[in-house]
Structure 1
Amino acid sequence: MRLIVVRCGAPEVEVPQLSVLRELVNIDSLEVLDLSAVPARQELRPLDEAALEELPVDPTPSLDEISARPDVGHLGAPDFAPQRPGRELRFVVVGSDAALSAVLTRMMRADYLWATVGYVPLHPDSAAATNWSLPANRAAAFRLACAGTVRPAPVIRNDASIVVAGSATISAVDGGTLDAEVIVDDATLIYPEKVRNTRARFYGQFGVKLVPMTDAPGIAAVRLTTPLTVAEENRGGRGLRGAIGSLMSRSLTPAQVQAWSETPGLSWLVDRAPLEPAGIDPRSLLSGRAVQAGGVDLRVTIDGVPGPRPVKRVTFYRHLRDLQIVRI
């Protein structure tokens, strides 16, 4: 195996010595790249070069040839890559979900997703680590990433050719309630609101969160019921009214708290109730191969990185090739 460790904004993270790794797996080459926290395309050229060295000519069907086929076999359970390089090429990404997204995006665009990928997350709240059940202990995560077994998973991308490593959200650019339509395959997750509820705070239509699945069809999506970000003063008030608000929020459902906040004479009971960001409605869960959204001034955020500008429509869908990821 040719192992390339890609440290993204983490030069302090120690990489096990080659002799130690050889006790775990057959490694004949170890390289370490220190890149930016979210590496740009130019920084990832060594990965392109390594893929070309290990597989100078790809004899398998191209993406155009796959998409032209009348069958839909590529929409089923994720499968192992058909390419057979002389030796396994494995990239171990050390960094954030955004860093992993940058690496996977480059691999997808240059079409060498046949290379295997391990991940060592730097942050305990990594959505990708949760999706793939990666160890919380960094040493254990390193051992798994370097010597673990590859288990293919769907690659989820958007129409701007950016891969989702952990999660993505679609929200209003101003952070308020979302006036848009969101469809998962042929099922509607969000309907456009005829009158936008600008007073919604505790419960409303604030967007969609989606995560890649480890199996077909590929995407799981839920409705966001609270804003993605909440000012510190809205995380729970102090004093008697704060205590009353906290008590009421525990006694009522979020939808009921929202209704009380809009009712004269009752609003003071809940106006200082605590508010957690990015709340979801688990009952709204839908899965599918594609998520399409259309509206006004949509903000698309992938692995914590917002898009450069608002958009009117966006599509997330399953790529034609699968990810060769090391996971439990």
Structure 2
Amino acid sequence: MEQVLLTCGSHGSRRLPTPSGVPTVALPARPGKADLDPVLAANPRRLVVAGDDADLAAVLQRLLRSDRLDVELAHLPTRGSDAAKAWGLPSDVDLAFDGKASPVPLVRDDSGGVLVGRGEVRGMRGECYCDDVLVLRGTAPRLVAAPGPGGVGVRAGRTGRLPDGRTRAVDLRARSGRGEAVGRTAQLGGEPMTVVTDGVAHPREVRRWTWYRHTTDWLLVRP
């Protein structure tokens, strides 16, 4: 099987023009192993995911766990998608089915999840390092992480804007400060925090959290 269109959750009601012969599989929101393994058993070359960022992350996570990162992924994003912003993805059906896939960094976390668009902690108190760059010491109304060509970017600030690839290091001698950086690993530590990944809150508060670049990239269709 060459390509499969996956419509996730309420996005199954979207009427999408698809090439002749491409099957459509309706799945629940954030599909899991039981939903995706029958699709993967047909050995598709490409999965086109119509859904939000959490749906795309769920599909990518299953590819990672089943050792199927050879399968290409295309995303037909919803309005306001942070994955679309991070990777420059238009809502373009022709691109999704006919575009070229290329390797991009796969960002994971230490709880077994993946990050495709936005990771966020609000009201953080503690420290954050991106590789050896200090990004936060003290408090930040919003600390935001995002994947990108350089790995994982992280930004501590007020507005919640996604990292833009720049580096603004906090002086290691400073008692407090906020900055941003991009690298292979972002490590957070401090008072109990709730981490929200692609719109889904972690089920419990944590004192430490790590996002890091996996050793193998994933295949994403993009302009």
Q: Deviations over 1:272-314 (max 9, x none)?
A: xxxxxx3689752201100001112111111111100101111
Letter in 2 for 1:159: D
Residue 223 (1) aligns with residue 118 (2): no
Query: Pairwise mapping of residues 54-93 of structure 1 onto structure 2 (< 5 A)?
Result: 54=43, 89-93=45-49
Change (3 A) 1:311 1:286: same
Change (3 A) 1:127 1:17: closer
Pairing partner for 1:131 from 71, 76, 86: 86
Q: d(CA) in 2 for partners of 1:292 and 1:96?
A: 26
Q: d(CA) in 1 for partners of 2:192 and 2:145?
A: 19
Q: State the SS of the aligned residue for 1:114.
A: coil
Q: State the SS of the aligned residue for 1:128.
A: helix
2:108 alignment counterpart:
157
1:14 alignment counterpart:
15
Shift, 1:110, TM fit: 1.1
1:3 alignment counterpart:
3
Q: State the SS of the aligned residue for 2:140.
A: coil
Q: d(CA) in 2 for partners of 1:223 and 1:326?
A: 30
Pairing partner for 1:33 from 25, 34, 38: 25
Q: State the SS of the aligned residue for 1:178.
A: strand
Seq. identity, %: 33
2:71 alignment counterpart:
115
Shift, 1:220, TM fit: 1.2
Letter in 2 for 1:2: E
Q: Deviations over 1:2-29 (max 9, x none)?
A: 111110021222243443xxxxxxxxx5
More helix by share: 1
Structure 1 unaligned segments of length 5 or more: list them.
20-28, 55-87, 172-176, 194-203, 227-277
Assess if the C-alpha contact under 8 Å between 1:157 and 1:163 holds in 2.
yes
Residue 167 (1) aligns with residue 167 (2): no
2:172 alignment counterpart:
none
Pairing partner for 2:208 from 297, 301, 313: 313
Matched residue pairs, number?
209
TM-score of the superposition, structure 2-length normalised?
0.86
TM-score of the superposition, structure 1-length normalised?
0.60
Q: d(CA) in 2 for partners of 1:99 and 1:163?
A: 11
Give the RMSD, CA atoms, in angstroms.
2.0
Greater C-alpha Rg? 1
Assess if the C-alpha contact under 8 Å between 1:224 and 1:281 holds in 2.
no
Q: d(CA) in 2 for partners of 1:325 and 1:281?
A: 20
Change (3 A) 1:154 1:17: closer
Assess if the C-alpha contact under 8 Å between 1:224 and 1:280 holds in 2.
no
Q: Deviations over 1:176-231 (max 9, x none)?
A: x322111100111111x3xxxxxxxxxx6224101111x23x011111325xxxxx
1:190 alignment counterpart:
136
1:146 alignment counterpart:
97
2:144 alignment counterpart:
209
Q: d(CA) in 2 for partners of 1:17 and 1:105?
A: 25
Q: State the SS of the aligned residue for 1:321.
A: coil
Change (3 A) 1:285 1:90: same
Letter in 1 for 2:14: V
Q: State the SS of the aligned residue for 1:205.
A: strand
Assess if the C-alpha contact under 8 Å between 2:45 and 2:72 holds in 1.
yes
Q: d(CA) in 2 for partners of 1:108 and 1:17?
A: 26
Assess if the C-alpha contact under 8 Å between 1:223 and 1:280 holds in 2.
no
Q: State the SS of the aligned residue for 2:143.
A: strand
